[in-house]
Amino acid sequence: MTPKTGMLALVLLSGCQQRAAQEPSSGNDEVTATANVAAPSPPANEAVSNTNSDARAPLAEPTGPIDPNSTEAAGQVVQHYGALIEQDRFAEAANYWGDPDTAAAFAKQLQTRGLKHLEIGKPGDSEGAAGSIYVTMPVSFYGGSNRSAANIILRRVNDVPGSTAAQRRWHIERIEWKA
């Protein structure tokens, strides 16, 4: 392990917190990993490319440096977003969205429903369209006895001329509630 990767591993590990006890599941097998990590500022450049779309398995912890263009990097965006939601830091959580107005509207939905925790499933396959890459993360928002399943759709613009650093990092494009 090089000093650089060792430091990155230490930073990543020091930001993680383990949940001592989880609220009971409502039987939703699609979502099994809990997002409960300390949330740093949004990364400057994050991305995705995954081939495993089994949403029933938990999001695996990375074993080394994370490629900012990987599905794992998109998963970290969702983990950090979830950690900020748990801490009622909605203004900071909005930084993980592509559109601040949509982020604010969604935060109001979470607060109205009393949902402040997030379980994350494995990301789906990445898909490309018109110069962008998308990945869908199955999640479950919960709080008290309320639980709502959703899909978080993340997007990043490919490294195309004229694109900004903010466009090239993974960000939440939208969150769709499941019926």
94-122 pLDDT, tens digit each? 999 999 999 999 999 999 999 999 999 99
- In this predicted structure, the answer to whether residue 56 has a pLDDT above a threshold of 50 is no
Q: What are 12's two structure tokens?
A: 């990543």
Beta-carbon contacts of 89 under 8 Å, excluding residues fewer than 6 positions away, are 39
Beta-carbon contacts of 58 under 8 Å, excluding residues fewer than 6 positions away, are 32, 33, 120, 121, 122
Instruction: Please give the C-alpha separations between residue 119 and each of 26, 28, 53, 122, in angstroms, as whole numbers.
Output: 12, 10, 16, 10
CA distance 90 to 110: 10
Rounded to two decimals, what is the model's pTM?
Answer: 0.66
Mean pLDDT of the chain: 75
Predicted pLDDT of residue 58: 55
- In this predicted structure, the answer to whether residue 133 has a pLDDT above a threshold of 90 is yes
Sort strands 117-120 and 127-129 into parallel, antiparallel or unpaired: unpaired
- In this predicted structure, the answer to whether residue 61 has a pLDDT above a threshold of 90 is no
More confidently predicted of 44 and 174: 174
Predicted pLDDT of residue 48: 34
As a whole number, mean pLDDT of residues 76-102 equals 96
Predicted pLDDT of residue 62: 60
Predicted pLDDT of residue 18: 33
